[in-house]
Structure 1
């Protein structure tokens, strides 16, 4: 599928999702990139490009330096659609490891689980490092302690460096993402996100899309992360959107200046 001309001019030389984030940071670090709502808790968090990129850098440093992952290693992400999940996806892309969404933890070098008990229990099948996310507002810690056998992401990540440089340059043609059993290279993620962005209503820089789709399908990842990145747009990512009434969603669309939806 050809890349629409209106989108091909945005980050035209970028080959990996991490490249897209770097270009977004260089172009306009202060603009919103991910606005997250949880309709089960009432949480709202807005991350600018700069803030999101800082979380990504810290997480990538955690992966590379503390967990000693290398390009080609597999990280199983047993997480819902959430802004911290988006951070992990871009951190994996920055290091050059494979982000395996809802993948088999028994076949992974690292597992990232939480906070639901079933997610944490599944994560115990990983013989490598296990990281648990509480997914509390403002990136809060597990209280009073993380699950046995897991390190608490909220404890481990703050002390990591604010800038990230991979030890080995990331190969755009190497495997980067597995979702719903389909493997993508970094270049394929970028190319497909660009090609499909206009179909999602992401017709140019500055467009905001509201997504209530889960992250365990390509469609959810495209609408909820990669499409906005590839087009210079932003996402209003909603968890538990089914708990919000139609009037609430309509108000949110207006308040957040959303012009496209995926739900």
Structure 2
């Protein structure tokens, strides 16, 4: 990664320049059997489309706050990087009443309705599928994002020293987030080509770091597993082998 990278969006741009074809996120949902693998290029395309949705359709910009009510999921990772691209601060599990906009999964729609700003809903169905019946009062992400542009340019520069993430009551600027991710990557021994299997939730810094930011900062990749406790013993070891896992966070 480039030593001058100071935001998560910078880290993604460097990864795209270095090796766009390598896997970045391999996602498993062990409750449904879903498996999705996204290369750096494919992930970056989703991020660009989502950032365009944020900026152009939802009128979000630097300084806005987004309450993210999503589990550890590849689409959650997309939103985290899209917000970094626009300059929006993400609060994990944040209070929708205090947020400028909210992004919700299917299990938190009632809480998300308390947001007075824009509300986006994700069905979290395999392959990014849409809701069978769109929830009233929400933008269905799977309906709106495909038509967004494949390239993104922010209307205003993003400030590395502006708040970028709030998790567990701790607020981090984009630069602090990147610094922590690099430190965590070094502590775990991650480097280019590392494959970190994470079964941790995204509701803590440890889970966010292991499940996205540290592998991204190191030039590695993550095998992100939702509902991993349902996978035990030999099945888990088979995944470790088949996915060429080098490190674990479970």
TM-score, normalised to structure 2, is 0.99
Superposed counterparts of 1:35-184, under 5 Å: 35-116=26-107, 119-143=108-132, 145-184=133-172
Q: 1:210 touches 1:238 (CA, 8 Å); kept in 2?
A: yes
- Secondary structure at the aligned position of 1:257 is classed as coil
Q: CA offsets per residue over residues 23-52 of structure 1, 9 Å max, x none?
A: 000000000000000000000000000000
- Report how many aligned residue pairs link the two structures: 250
Query: In structure 2, what is the Cα distance between the partners aligned to 1:239 and 1:38?
Result: 5
1:227-242 aligned within 5 A: 227-242=214-229
Q: 1:114, CA displacement in angstroms? A: 1.0
Superposition RMSD on alpha carbons, in Å? 0.7
1:224 alignment counterpart: 211
Q: Name the SS of the counterpart of 1:47 in structure 2.
A: strand
Q: Aligned-pair distance for 1:148? A: 1.2
C-alpha distance in structure 2 between counterparts of 1:12 and 1:71, whole Å:
24
Offset of residue 196 of structure 1: 1.4
Taking the aligned partners of 2:57 and 2:38, their CA distance within structure 1 comes to 25
For the residues of structure 2 that align with 1:200 and 1:183, how far apart are their CA atoms?
Answer: 23
Contact residue 11 and residue 230 of structure 1 kept, 8 A: no
Secondary structure class of the residue paired with 1:158: helix
Contact persistence 1:72–1:97 (CA under 8 A): yes
Q: Which of 22, 27, 31 is matched with 2:13 structurally?
A: 22
Tell me if structure 2 keeps the 8 A contact 1:77–1:101: yes
CA distance in 1, matches of 2:141, 2:147: 11
Distance 1:11 1:35 in 2: 23
SS in 2 for 1:77: strand
For 2:86 and 2:136, the matched residues in 1 are separated by 27
Report the CA distance between 1:201 and its aligned residue. 3.4
Q: Deviations over 1:45-88 (max 9, x none)?
A: 00000000000000000000000011010011000000000000
1:198: Cα distance to partner? 2.3
Structure 1's unaligned 5+ residue stretches are 1-9
Q: Deviations over 1:168-203 (max 9, x none)?
A: 11100000001111100000010010011122231x
The answer to whether 1:186 aligns with 2:177 is: no
Task: Give the Cα–Cα distance (whole angstroms) in 1 for the partners of residues 134 and 63 of structure 2.
Answer: 28
Contact 1:200–1:261 at 8 Å: present in 2 too?
Answer: no
Q: CA deviation at 1:89?
A: 0.2
